[in-house]
Amino acid sequence: MCALQNKELESTRGAVGGSGRGGGGVHQRLSWEVQHDDAASLGVGGKPVEVAGVRNGVEPAVASGAAAAAGAPGGKVARPSAAVRMRTDAERFAWSRDDYNEGVRTAQTWSFFLGLQVRRQFDEGKWAYPGGKIDAEEQSRRRRRTAAWVRENLLRLGPTFIKVGQLFSSRSDLLPKEWVEELGQLQDRVPAFSGERAVRTVEEGLGGPVSAYFASFDMEPVAAASLGQVHRATLRDGREVAVKVQRPGLKRLFDIDLKNLKILAERQQAKADADGENADFVGIYEECAAVLYREIDYILEGQTADRFRRNFAGDGDAGWVKVPRVHWAATGPTVLTMEYCPGVKISERAVLEAAGVDVKLLASRATESYLRQILRHGLFHADPHPGNLSVDPRTSQIIYYDFGMACEIAPDVRDRLLGVFYATYERDADMVVEQLIALGALVPTGDLTSVRRSIQYFIDRVGDAAERGQQTQQLPADADPEAKKAQAKAQESETLGAIGEDLFAIALDQPFRFPATFTFVVRAFTTLEGVGKGLDPDYDFGRVGSPYAQELLDLRPSDAVANGLDAFTSSASKLAEDAGQVPDRVRRVEDVLKRIERGDLRPRTRALEAERALRRASVFQGVTLDAVLAATCLNVSMFLSDHATSSLPTAFSLALALAASGKAAVGLQRVRRLDRFENKVKGG
């Protein structure tokens, strides 16, 4: 299970998050009983509430919303003022109206796609740069402008594209770093929908009037995002709650947008296949679609929140983590009611220090709570950004919000990850490769020798640095930029000199894949490191994680001892079996040698140097053909200018000549780049 996070509009700080499964599936009558230890959370006479719902087989998320209060002096928490008002003019967006036109929506979507394609051509094409040579700094500036344009248009296009953008903000393996950074700033800043529409959604989702579930329900939302918004309310027994209400019409909007995205993915896949690229655009689309639909299942989010709470309660010593309780009697597919848990956003260091919170301890605990989720619980919050983490200034508890984006690590996947960790510790590249293949992070190709050598090289470098007690050889952050560039160039030359040919082979084969769960883990750790350094300048992720790494290492020897006898018995049995097969194997070897002598069997070797030479020759051949085409078209245009009665054929021929010339220039630059790479590989 892995649902993607929704960035919340943080006009106030939060107390609840959520997700719900949208329509599109088999209609069922759902009866929600009191779950686990939530008997006290019933708001309607202690009876289960029946609601009409629609469920489908995939899992999305809704806007995290957060109704929270900042810490007040004396450890008290101030309730958000009723004067905090949010814009409720969402209907001005075409996608937010109940009667929006599907044809207009499709036209807007494809207009965005085409505009993006044109911009990318200017960013990536050498012909768009002076002299046909890409300047790295200029390209970075162009990419950042395009990424900012994309971010603004994603907000304009609404929920589907905001969520897709947030998903791709973690895919540094697919997008340039400028895009990743810009998309990482993507905020769900869309107006709230009206309180009247929220009430209708609540009544439809719960199957009864609001008054049957709540003694009071604030019509003004305290937070809003593209998939939903949060209202404060009071249950009939007097307890305060935060109610997340899904934005109306999301399922239909997802259906339209994902249909267009599927067409785009299929076209990109066909182009990649034709070009021989090892890409999986259709797989990426399917992943996005699954995430989006999962993110609108509030029942699923509530169940995830319950699991989070039970997991930390089971640790015994993790009372410093708090997860809001779900009130199941007032929860449905599009409505999630949770305990109201106000707090101070974890990034507000000054407020926390004023309230007497130990921010250094808090920085360590934020990371420790996540390590527990990954290594012990197998269920982790996929986006612990500051909007989803608050602190109770009275108890210093870390409060988690928004469980619509959560990922579960299956036991076999966890075992494989531990296998990678152990193999890396033992510097066993073969075992690392084996475990990566089992995880699906590495696709076995015809020749994995280059992958093994590259992995061994990097494992040895990290291991040697660790043995010397050095984390990295990097310069400090405030070092001279020229010194940084010189160091980076030296490291690049060293790496290319050692494994340049292997990296070339890997670049051609493209064997690595990065499942979404792994990218979520990496992004979460990156976010937590930023939070930690914001709270404590001396924060060290390695220091916090060391006890858990040592715990994993301590567990392994006991397993080895427990299984030692079995391993010995198995080895002895295999040795006896191998001994019995020796005569047969000798005969097979003789047979292979005879086939080689007859010419029936020819060994194949991979000459990487020859592959690079062929690649250069292929590119140069294309340059030659483009140059010939350019000259031919130029001659034709000159002839037509003297003899044609219309200027259109002349202009067309001249345009072809210019296009072919530009393509030839790009090819020449590529040849030069291949030559520079060859010199680096050979140490020239």
Residues 520 and 614 placed together within one structural domain of the fold: no
Cβ atoms of 549 and 555 closer than 8 Å: no
| Predicted local distance difference test score (pLDDT) of residue 284 | 81
Q: Which helix (H) or strand (E) holds 16?
A: none
Q: How many CB atoms lie within 10 A of CB 24?
A: 16
Residues 463 and 376 placed together within one structural domain of the fold: no
Task: Report the C-alpha gap between 431 and 594 in whole angstroms.
Answer: 34
pLDDT over 80 at 26, yes or no: no
pLDDT over 50 at 8, yes or no: no
Into how many domains does the chain fold? Answer: 4
C-alpha separations of 489 from 161, 177, 494, 495, 556 in Å: 38, 19, 9, 10, 40
Residues 547 and 591 placed together within one structural domain of the fold: no
Give the chain's largest Cα–Cα span. Answer: 94
pLDDT digits (tens, 9 = 90+) for 434-464: 888 887 777 776 567 777 777 777 777 766 6
Residues 580 and 591 placed together within one structural domain of the fold: yes
Residues 333 and 416 placed together within one structural domain of the fold: no
β-pairing verdict for 321-322 and 397-400: parallel
288 band by pLDDT with thresholds 50, 70 and 90: confident
Is the pTM of the predicted complex or chain greater than 0.85? no
Residues 466 and 333 placed together within one structural domain of the fold: no
C-alpha separations of 586 from 389, 577, 580, 581 in Å: 65, 15, 11, 9
| Predicted local distance difference test score (pLDDT) of residue 23 | 37
| Predicted local distance difference test score (pLDDT) of residue 20 | 37
Last residue of a domain, one of 562, 586, 616: 562
Residue 127 or 145, more confident: 145
Which residues are marked as active site? 383
Q: Cα 632 vs. chain centroid, distance in angstroms?
A: 49
Arithmetic mean of pLDDT, 286-306: 89
pLDDT over 70 at 255, yes or no: yes
Q: What is the 3-state secondary structure (H, E, C) of 502-548?
A: HHHHHHHHCCECCCHHHHHHHHHHHHHHHHHHHHCCCCCHHHHHHHH
pLDDT over 90 at 560, yes or no: no
| Predicted local distance difference test score (pLDDT) of residue 358 | 94
Any idea which of 5-19, 84-98, 104-118 has the lowest mean pLDDT?
Answer: 5-19
C-alpha separations of 260 from 94, 115, 264, 391, 550 in Å: 17, 15, 6, 42, 49
Residues 506 and 614 placed together within one structural domain of the fold: no
pLDDT-above-90 percentage for the chain = 23
Task: Report the C-alpha gap between 48 and 214 in whole angstroms.
Answer: 15
pLDDT digits (tens, 9 = 90+) for 215-225: 999 999 988 88
pLDDT digits (tens, 9 = 90+) for 51-76: 322 222 223 333 333 333 333 333 33
Mean pLDDT for all residues in the chain: 74
Residues 627 and 585 placed together within one structural domain of the fold: no
Arithmetic mean of pLDDT, 587-609: 64
Within 166-246, strands assigned E span 214-217, 223-224, 228-235, 240-246
Residues 324 and 471 placed together within one structural domain of the fold: no
Residues 180 and 264 placed together within one structural domain of the fold: yes
pLDDT over 50 at 328, yes or no: yes
pLDDT over 90 at 155, yes or no: no
Q: Containing domain of residue 615, as a range?
A: 608-681
Q: Which of 404, 34, 352, 348 is nearest to 230 (CA)?
A: 404
| Predicted local distance difference test score (pLDDT) of residue 67 | 36
Residues 498 and 628 placed together within one structural domain of the fold: no
Last residue of a domain, one of 408, 434, 464: 408
Interaxial angle between packed helices 608-643 and 481-509, expressed in degrees from 0 to 180 and rounded to the nearest 10: 90
Task: Report the C-alpha gap between 551 and 556 in whole angstroms.
Answer: 9
| Predicted local distance difference test score (pLDDT) of residue 83 | 35
110 band by pLDDT with thresholds 50, 70 and 90: very high
Arithmetic mean of pLDDT, 175-200: 84
Last residue of a domain, one of 547, 573, 604: 604
Dihedral sign (CA 640, 642, 644, 650) = positive
| Predicted local distance difference test score (pLDDT) of residue 233 | 96
Residues 389 and 469 placed together within one structural domain of the fold: no
C-alpha separations of 517 from 1, 62, 501 in Å: 9, 19, 31
pLDDT digits (tens, 9 = 90+) for 355-384: 999 999 999 999 889 888 888 888 888 878
605 band by pLDDT with thresholds 50, 70 and 90: low
pLDDT digits (tens, 9 = 90+) for 623-646: 888 889 888 988 888 888 877 777
pLDDT-above-70 percentage for the chain = 66
Provide the β-strand partners of residue 77.
Answer: 71
Any idea which of 399-403, 591-595, 606-610 has the lowest mean pLDDT?
Answer: 606-610
Dihedral sign (CA 314, 315, 319, 321) = negative
| Joined tokens for residue 106 | 């499709």
pLDDT over 90 at 94, yes or no: no
